[in-house]
Amino acid sequence: MNQRLNSLIRYLLLALAITTALIAVLAILVWTVNFQPKDIHPAPVVCSGQPQSLNPGQTVKVLSWNVQYMAGKGYWFFYEGGTDTAPAESDIRQTLDQAARVIKVENPDIVLLQEVDEAARRTHYTDQLKLLRERLDGRYPCRTEAFYWKSDFVPHPDIWGPVGMKLVILSKFRISEATRHQLPLIPENWVSQQFNLKRALLAARIPYGDTEFVVMNTHLSAFAQGTDTMKRQIKSVKSILTGHTAAGRPWIIGGDLNLLPPGNAYSELTEQQKSAYRPQTEIKPLFEAFKVIPALEEVSNDDRRHWFTHFPNDPDIRAPNKTIDYIFYADSVKRTSAHVRQADTWTISDHLPVVAEFTLPRGSKYPPTQSLPRFPGEE
pLDDT in tens, 212-269: 999 999 999 998 989 999 999 999 999 999 999 999 999 999 999 999 999 999 999 9
* Number of Cβ within a 10 Å radius of residue 278: 13
If you compute the radius of gyration of the chain from its CA atoms, what whole number of angstroms results?
23
Name the DSSP class of 34: B
Residues 55-107: tens digit of each pLDDT:
999 999 999 999 999 999 999 999 999 999 999 999 999 999 999 999 999 99
Q: How confident is the model at residue 364 (pLDDT cuts 50, 70, 90)?
A: low
* Runs of H (alpha helix) within the chain: 2-33, 89-106, 128-135, 190-195, 229-246, 271-274, 284-289
Sign of CA dihedral 338, 114, 216, 201: positive
- pLDDT at 168 (0 to 100): 99
- pLDDT at 377 (0 to 100): 44
- pLDDT at 372 (0 to 100): 41
Please state the φ and ψ torsions of residue 53, each to the nearest 5 degrees: -95, 140
CA 82 vs. chain centroid, Å, equals 23
Pairing relation of β-strands 110-117 and 161-171? Answer: antiparallel
Distance of alpha carbon 332 from alpha carbon 316, whole angstroms: 43
- pLDDT at 371 (0 to 100): 40
Distance of alpha carbon 203 from alpha carbon 109, whole angstroms: 16
Please work out, in degrees rounded to the nearest 5, the angle formed at the alpha carbon of residue 41 by the alpha carbons of 191 and 110.
110
Listed range (99-103, 133-137, 273-277) with the worst mean pLDDT: 273-277
* Number of Cβ within a 10 Å radius of residue 5: 9
Could you tell me which residue, 48 or 374, shows the higher pLDDT?
Answer: 48
Name the DSSP class of 122: G
Q: Answer whether 168's CB lies under 8 Å from 115's CB.
A: no
- pLDDT at 96 (0 to 100): 98
Residue 128's identity, in one-letter code, is: Q
Please work out, in degrees rounded to the nearest 5, the angle formed at the alpha carbon of residue 162 by the alpha carbons of 140 and 352.
45
- pLDDT at 1 (0 to 100): 64
* Number of Cβ within a 10 Å radius of residue 59: 12
Mean of pLDDT over the chain: 93
Q: How confident is the model at residue 368 (pLDDT cuts 50, 70, 90)?
A: very low
> Integer distance in angstroms from the first to the last C-alpha of the chain?
68
